[in-house]
Amino acid sequence: MRWNRDPCRTLDDELLPRSQSSFVQKSYLMVDFFFILSGFIMVYVYGAWFEQKCSGKDFRRFFVARFARLYPLHLFTLGWCVLLKIVLQASGAMAGLSPKLQDMYNLDALPAHLLLLNAFIPGAWLTFNVPSWSISAEWYTYLIFPLLAWLAARQNMTRKILLVSLLYLGYWGIIQFAGHNFDLNVTAYGGVMRCLVGFGIGMITYAGYVRLQVWNGMGRSAWLAGAGVMTVAGMHAGISDIFIVALFPVLIFLAARNTGAMARLLDRRFFQLLGEQSYSIYMIHVPLMSTFLVGWLVFRAEKSVGVDNASALALTPAVAWSGCLVYALLVLVLSTLTFRYVESPMRQWLNQRLRVGTGPAAITRQKTPV
């Protein structure tokens, strides 16, 4: 049987067809995991700054710290994508892209990206470095975090549990508003709400973590491994996203409580580096994939019209699997470089330039960079 060479065919369906497993197709849920984890970490690191009051000094320190964390790498990857646009235009290869991918390089969306408004403005959601829509949504959620932390500190646990129920109803509402039956893969209009709902769930997950710290039995690795297996099995089986995202706060809670073999494994240097570089990994994976596609269009003598994704590179199964391995290794290598030479130094430079201290909460509570 010949390998399908249709350039509009998606590579994930070729490597792992949905009929065999929905795990790859459900990978968009990692964005929701990120939103929930972010809410958890923000309270862990910065919650004490705003639980009693929200002073202008603390807000400024928080604002600059988050800006320094997000914006430099966002700007770098945006510039990378603009450079790809220039190469496509100068080489005449733009015509080889499908209309959808041509719209991805729409210069009208550039101001929205520069202002981190691309999650809010129609036509800018899926342009340039597409995953940055979630960074846009996250940034403006950060701006209201001090108020959310102050309000959360004044709610008892019963109210917080009730709020979690309402937030999961919010997930259901996002799916229904988008016209999806089970699918939370929503960017247009509902993407910002995905962030707010997940962030709120993460904040309440931290409250549960503090409340149940005395329950030492939850530190066993079997609990965390079991939750992980259930999550992977749910994604594989393609069950409703509502049930899968309900497992994410459980995973985060159990990972934070774990003191067993899983904790020792995750404390190894390799996994610590992955955690440190996770933002770089997330932000460069699409520009790198786009670079492969642009390079193929520019240097291939016989250009195909209507190329829709990087699947055009996969001419045989061996090329597809080998390409995925090379791509993953390149992402890890390049993310190390962007973390070391873009993300980390620019974050330090901005914090020093604007004279932002770490503050007592960050000194005593923060364990890893966020």
Q: How much is the pLDDT for 307?
A: 63
Instruction: Classify residue 85: in a domain, yes or no.
Output: yes
Instruction: Classify residue 71: in a domain, yes or no.
Output: yes
Instruction: Classify residue 4: in a domain, yes or no.
Output: no
Q: How much is the pLDDT for 214?
A: 61
User: Which single residue is written with the structure tokens 């862990």?
Assistant: 44
Instruction: Classify residue 174: in a domain, yes or no.
Output: yes
Domain boundaries, position 49: 11-365
User: Rounded distance, CA 25 to CA 301, Å?
Assistant: 32
DSSP letters, 149-164, are HHHHTTS-HHHHHHHH
Q: How much is the pLDDT for 359?
A: 45
Instruction: Classify residue 3: in a domain, yes or no.
Output: no
Alpha helices in the chain (DSSP H): 11-15, 29-50, 56-91, 99-104, 110-114, 132-152, 157-177, 191-211, 221-237, 241-257, 261-266, 269-276, 278-299, 317-338, 344-353, 359-365
Q: How much is the pLDDT for 259?
A: 85
Instruction: Classify residue 227: in a domain, yes or no.
Output: yes
Instruction: Classify residue 5: in a domain, yes or no.
Output: no
Q: How much is the pLDDT for 3?
A: 35
How many structural domains is the chain composed of? Answer: 1
Instruction: Classify residue 308: in a domain, yes or no.
Output: yes
Give me the tens of pLDDT residue by residue for the chain, a chain 370 residues long.
333 334 334 455 555 566 667 887 888 999 999 999 999 999 999 998 898 877 788 889 999 999 999 999 999 999 999 999 999 999 888 887 888 888 899 999 999 999 999 999 988 988 999 999 999 999 999 999 999 999 999 989 899 999 999 999 999 988 888 776 668 888 877 889 999 999 999 999 999 898 876 666 777 888 899 999 999 999 988 888 999 999 999 999 999 988 888 888 888 999 899 999 999 999 999 999 899 888 888 876 455 556 665 555 555 666 667 778 888 999 999 999 999 999 999 999 998 887 655 444 443 333 333 4
Nearest to 284, CA basis, from 344, 327, 348: 327
Nearest to 205, CA basis, from 260, 147, 151, 248: 248
Q: How much is the pLDDT for 71?
A: 96
